[in-house]
Structure 1
Amino acid sequence: MLNLSRRSVLLSVLSLPLAHPLLAAMQPYKLDARKSSVGFYFNLSGTNQKGTMPVRSAQIRIDPADLTRSTVDVSVDVTRAKTNFVFARNAMLGAEVLDAKQFPTIRFVSTRVQLGKSGRISDGARIAGDLTVRGVTLPITLDAELYRRRGSASADLSTLDIRLRGQISRNSFGASGYKELVKDTITLDIRAKIQQGK
């Protein structure tokens, strides 16, 4: 999905403050829900399965002068989760796993953005934050990628693509039902399109 030429656009993003000092302030962005997905993968009886959850709300601010100051606060609607199998979805939303009736949202709030060794977000960047599932809040770290729209001008930050990836232990959050069927590790693959706006 991501190629070398697309990664190289980040060099121009990071150089923007030198040419455009007015962009140094935090910029609010809004999520394009139609072009975004919170994907998760789990292993059910030895077979990898995929699911998605829609975003309920998102507050995203990016500082093009210092990407480490950028912040993310996202809540996901657990009750509208989808999986390939209806019985798997029902079990997942039940009291033994996510308990969607009592805990209808999952929330991630960033605490720190770490750039790659070269100082770019395309070179091993990570975003740390607090994830709340079933009322339990634990720190997690996700691999992060951020890109301008392909073919856009170097100063055009109006639309950006974000990808976050990582793994969590469902048992750590108390979502431990059906251990004999579903493995503990859940893989996250979040893709989002964001646009400047208040």
Structure 2
Amino acid sequence: MTAPLHHRLPRRTLLLALAACMVLPVRAGAAARRYRLDPGATRVGFTFTLNGTPQSGTLPVRQADIRIDPARLTASSVDVRLDAGRARTGIGFVTTTLIGPQMLDARRFPEIRFRSTAIRPGAGGRLSDGAGITGDLTLHGITRPLTFAADLYRPRGSAADDLSRLTVHLRGHLSRAAFGLTAYADMVGDTVGLSIDAAIRAA
């Protein structure tokens, strides 16, 4: 049986403190609930190195299907689709190269998709403090398993049984070579960091 989640704000990062969110509590007997993204409060980012210098970019969300079962967190699921053709970095020619045929090849592979296959709660059964979401990432026509570190919170001051609005933080990284993205290996690092900060509302 899933243990109750603590209701106080963790102080592990400044980001979570600024978000002023609290850990999602578990309610006995609750069923899986579907959520939709708040586009204005959602960001999908990626990081990489170019000639040894850290760079960053963003990817817009095309579609998301998020279902959370607070009584049985392992039964929750995430299915997110990103628009590869609208990936952006802070450098124009890098963006053009990124979405072009030698890298993401967005015309042939317009979508990046992550579908969860397993949810691993963290300490005390929380979706925080070591929680993870493992799933299949499809990128550049290749599907590989990927695990995100996960944190799920409700707004500070909200009632313990009010799960209408939640905040999700996901962090992970991948090898671009594992997805066939081997161009410019002498300039671009192999490791790509991924981060998803999403505000979601019950549908």
State how far apart, in whole Å, the 2-side matches of 1:105 and 1:125 are: 27
Q: Within 5 Å, which residues of 2 pair with 1:38-187?
A: 38-187=44-193
Q: Which of the residues 10, 16, 22 maps onto 1:2? A: 16
Aligned: 1:31 with 2:37: yes
- CA deviations over 1:101-155 (Å, ceiling 9, x no partner): 1001100000000011322112200000000001100001110000001221111
Distance 1:78 1:121 in 2: 28
Deviation at 1:189, TM superposition (A): 1.1
Contact 1:6 1:147 in 2 (8 A): no
Distance (whole Å) between structure 2 residues aligned to residue 56 and residue 33 of structure 1: 10
Answering whether residue 25 of structure 2 is matched by residue 13 of structure 1, we say yes
* TM-score where L is the length of structure 2: 0.89
The residue identity in structure 1 corresponding to 2:69 is D
What are structure 1's unaligned runs of at least 5 residues?
none
1:188 aligns to 2:200 (yes or no) = no
**What RMSD, in angstroms, separates the aligned Cα atoms of the two structures?**
1.6
Amino acid in structure 2 at the alignment position of 1:82? R
User: Among the aligned pairs, what percent are the same residue?
Assistant: 48
Unaligned runs of 5+ in 2: 1-14
Counterpart secondary structure, 2:124:
coil
Distance in 1 separating the partners of 2:108 and 2:123:
42
- Matches of 1:180 and 1:126 in 2, distance apart? 32
TM-score normalised to the size of structure 1?
0.91
Number of equivalences:
189
Higher helix share: 1
